[in-house]
Amino acid sequence: MGKLLRRTFLLGSAAIAGGVAVGFYIYHTPYSNPVVADQDKGEGVFNPFIKIAADSSVTIFVPRAEMGQGVITTLAALVAEELDIELQDVKTEFAPAASVYYNRAMLEEGAPFQVFDNSFVAEMTRNIQGVVAKFLAMQVTGGSSSTTDAFYRMRTAGAAARAMLIGAAADKWQVAAASLKTENGKVVDAALGRSLSYGELVGDAIKQEVPDKIALKEVTDWRYLGKSQPRLDMRAKVTGKARFGIDVRLPEMLFATVRMNPRQGARMTAVDVSEAEKTAGVVKVINLGTGYAVVANNTWVAFKAADLVKPEWAPAAYPASTDAIFDKLDAELKAGGGFNMRDDGDAPGAIAAASGNVISARYTAPYLAHATMEPMNATAQWSDGKLTVWCGNQAPTSIVIQAASEFGISTDDVSVHSTYLGGGFGRRFETDFSILAARVAKETDGKPVQVTWTREEDMQHDM
C-alpha cells in the first residue's frame, strides 16, 4: 500500500505515466458484447443484458448462476424496474461465458476489512480490488455478491435501453424526449394521447447513442425493488421444465461415469477392465491416468460396469486417515507453523494472569463434503477441434480458461452453456467435473457425452 501511494507522486516519469495511460485505456475499454440478435425475430441488442424483439418481448441475460437463491428473479427485477416492463412477462436466459459479466463486488468485498468499515484505507482498498476485478474478468457466482454486483450495473442497463427507446420515439414524432414517458413496455406521449410499443421502436432505438448520463429511478418510484416478487423460475421448476445439467439431452449422446483415485492427486498404477467391457451397453473404458471412465448407452449401465473394473491405486502424499491428518496439524502447530487471521491483544498473558479458573476447549471438524442435491455432472462434445460444455456451474469463464489450457486450444474455441444447478455452495466454482467430461469426450469420436458422478465419487472428491 505504501509503495502504491508513493508511486502516486511519481507520475511525472514518462515511463510510469505511459504505463498508467495504457492501463487506464484498457481499464476503460468495454468488453465485447456476446449477445447476438435473431434477425428473423426482429431482435435488437441494447447491451449485454437486454434484447428486445419486434413482438415487444424482452429477454434479460442473467450473468450469475441460479442455484435456488432466486438470482434470476432479483436480477431481472433490476432491469424491469428501470425499463418499465412487467416483470412476470420477461424472458430470462443464462448469460454466455464472457468477460463483460465479471463480478466486481465479490473481489471488492474480499478485501481484508469488515463490511461496515468505511474508513479511507478500507474504501481505497476496495476500489483497488474493483480495478483488479476488471482485469481478471472473472464471471463467478459466490460470496453472496450477485445482487450487490448487479444493483447499479443492471439497473443502468435497463435505464439506458429505456432512454434509447424514448429517443427513437422522440425522433419519430419530432418532439422533445423530455415530453415522453414509458409505461408497461410502451413509450407514451400523454399530451397527444399516442404510444408506441418497444417492439415498434426497437429497430431505430438500437441506433441511438447511449446517453452519457443515465438517471436511475428514485426509491419512491420503485414498483418491484424492495418488494417480494413471485419467482420467475417457479413454474418451470414445479412442472419439471427447468433444465438442470443432468437434464441435458443431445442427438447421439453417450453417458459415462468416472472413478478416480480416492487418494486425491495420486495415480492409478494398474487396471483390469475385462469384466466391465463384457457388459451389454458399454461402449468403452477409458484410462484417465488418475482413474478411469466407463462410457455406455445409459448412466445406469455405466455405474454398474464401473463397479466391475479392478483398479490399483497409488498412495497419496498426505496422511491416509483423518486422525493422522490431525496429528500432522498438531505437529506443525507445535513447531510454530500456521498463521493467525488476527493477533492483537495479549490472550496468553491475560490467561496467565487470571486468578479464577481457566476453561480450555478444543474443537475439531473433519473434512466435509458440500453434498449438492444434483450429482456432479457435465456434458461435453468435441467438434472440429472445438469444445462445447453444458453444465450447471458457478464460474463459466474459469471453465473456458482451464479447458483452453488443458487441451492447448484458444479460448475462442471453448463454449460453455450454463444450466440451472441443484446446489452449488462453492463446489461448482471448481472446474474438475467439466474438464473430466471434456477429457472423456475426447475419446467418443465427436459424440456428446454426459458424465455423471456417483454419490460415493462425489463424497470422496469434494474440495
**Residue range 394-420, pLDDT digits in tens:** 999 999 999 999 999 999 999 999 999
Q: Which residues pair with 94 in a beta bridge?
A: 62
Q: Which residues pair with 254 in a beta bridge?
A: 449
Return phi, psi of residue 455, to 5°.
Answer: -65, -35
Residue (of 384, 380, 371) closest to 402 by Cα position? 380
For the beta carbon of residue 391, count every other beta carbon within 10 angstroms: 27
Return phi, psi of residue 414, to 5°.
Answer: -120, 125
Residue (of 301, 298, 296, 269) closest to 285 by Cα position? 296
Q: Is 4 helix (H, G, I), strand (E, B) or coil?
A: helix
pLDDT in tens, 32-52: 999 999 999 999 999 999 999
> What confidence tier does 13 reach under pLDDT thresholds 50, 70, 90?
very low
**pLDDT reported for residue 84:** 97
Per residue in 93-116, is it b (16+ CB within 10 Å) or e — as a string?
ebbbbbbbbbbbbbbbbbbeeeee
CA distance 267 to 260: 8
Residue pair 168/161 in contact (Cβ under 8 Å)? The answer is: no
Q: Which of the 8 DSSP states describes residue 320?
A: S
Examine the pLDDT at 25 and tell me if it is beyond 80.
no
Angle, CA of 187, 190 and 194, to the nearest 5°:
60
DSSP secondary structure, 227-252, as one string = S----TTHHHHHTT-S-BGGG---TT
Segment (H or E) for 415 = strand 414-418
Between 64 and 365, name the one with better pLDDT.
64
CATH number, domain 245-316+370-460, options 2.60.40.10, 3.30.365.10, 3.40.630.10, 3.40.109.10: 3.30.365.10
Angle, CA of 265, 267 and 269, to the nearest 5°:
165
Q: What value does the mean pLDDT take over residues 447-454?
A: 98
At 166, list the grid cell: 424514448
**pLDDT reported for residue 24:** 59
Q: What value does the mean pLDDT take over residues 84-109?
A: 95
Q: Which residue has the cell 455452495?
A: 425
Domain boundaries of the chain, sorted by first residue: 39-103+138-236, 107-134, 245-316+370-460
- Sign for the CA dihedral angle at 26, 30, 36, 42 comes to negative
Q: Which residue has the cell 463459466?
A: 396
CATH architecture of the domain formed by 39-103+138-236: 2-Layer Sandwich (3.30)
Residue pair 391/438 in contact (Cβ under 8 Å)? The answer is: no
At 280, list the grid cell: 451389454
Length of the chain counted residue by residue: 463
Whether 245-316+370-460 and 39-103+138-236 are alike in CATH topology: the answer is: yes
Query: Model's pTM, two decimal places?
Result: 0.89
At 389, list the grid cell: 460444455
At 394, list the grid cell: 458457478
Residue (of 444, 33, 457) closest to 250 by Cα position? 444
Between 116 and 460, name the one with better pLDDT.
460
CA distance 149 to 74: 12
CA distance 42 to 62: 21
Q: Which of 1-10, 36-45, 75-84, 207-216 has the lowest mean pLDDT?
A: 1-10
CA dihedral 321, 324, 325, 330 (to 10 degrees): 160
Residue pair 409/385 in contact (Cβ under 8 Å)? The answer is: yes
Average pLDDT for the chain? 92
Q: Classify burial at 455, counting beta carbons within 10 Å of its beta carbon; exposed 0-12, middle 13-18, buried 19 or more.
A: exposed
Return phi, psi of residue 325, to 5°.
Answer: -65, -45
pLDDT in tens, 251-308: 999 999 999 999 988 999 999 999 999 999 999 999 999 999 999 999 999 999 999 9
Residue (of 64, 74, 58, 36) closest to 155 by Cα position? 74
pLDDT in tens, 351-388: 888 877 888 898 888 888 999 999 999 999 999 999 99
Q: End-to-end alpha-carbon separation of the chain, Å?
A: 33
Q: Which residues pair with 235 in a beta bridge?
A: none
Half-sphere exposure of 447 (CA within 13 A, CB side): 17
